[in-house]
Structure 1
Amino acid sequence: MLVKSTNLEKLLAILKDGKWHSSDELAAKVSFRFGHTVFEAREKGYVVEKRQVAYNQFEYRLLAA
């Protein structure tokens, strides 16, 4: 049986390496609305850091708990 992973699971799988990931990458691999998934992760206690790298360009990473 094929189990579809949730957007939150996809996001955490990408960010768990602790490296910075661009918003373009997350939009392509998680969902166009990945910002809601980041919000959901934060609501569940995950610490997702965000930094601006250029005008209207951001990167995200998961900090160790």
Structure 2
Amino acid sequence: MRTLKQTKLDLLLDVLSDHDWHWGEELATKVGWRFGATIKEARDKGYLIKTERDGLQHRYRLLKA
């Protein structure tokens, strides 16, 4: 039986699915260093992802529809 590889979008949504804040460093580790394109892809597909800046750090959270 073959298992399907998760896409970066799948990984991002898995992390953000708890609707809590997640720092960019965590997303870089769990999704990949270039996760910004994946956030754009999710937004283009209709997912509402809020971004906040705290100094030089950014945090992200998936909003409930």
Q: TM-score range by the shorter chain?
A: over 0.9
After superposing on structure 2, the runs of 4+ consecutive aligned residues of structure 1 that deviate more than 4 Å are none
Q: Residue 29 of structure 1 aligns to which amino acid in structure 2?
A: K
Task: Give the Cα separation in 2 of the matches to 1:13 and 1:53.
Answer: 23
1:3 corresponds to which residue?
A: 4
**RMSD (Å), alpha carbons:** 0.7
Mapped pair 1:17 → 2:3: no
Q: Residue 57 of structure 2 aligns to which amino acid in structure 1?
A: Q
The TM-score with structure 2 as length reference comes to: 0.94
Between the aligned residues of both structures, percent identity stands at: 47
The TM-score with structure 1 as length reference comes to: 0.94
DSSP 3-state at the match of 1:60: strand
Q: Which has the higher strand share?
A: 1
Mapped pair 1:52 → 2:53: yes
* Uncovered stretches (5+) of structure 1, i.e. residues with no partner: none
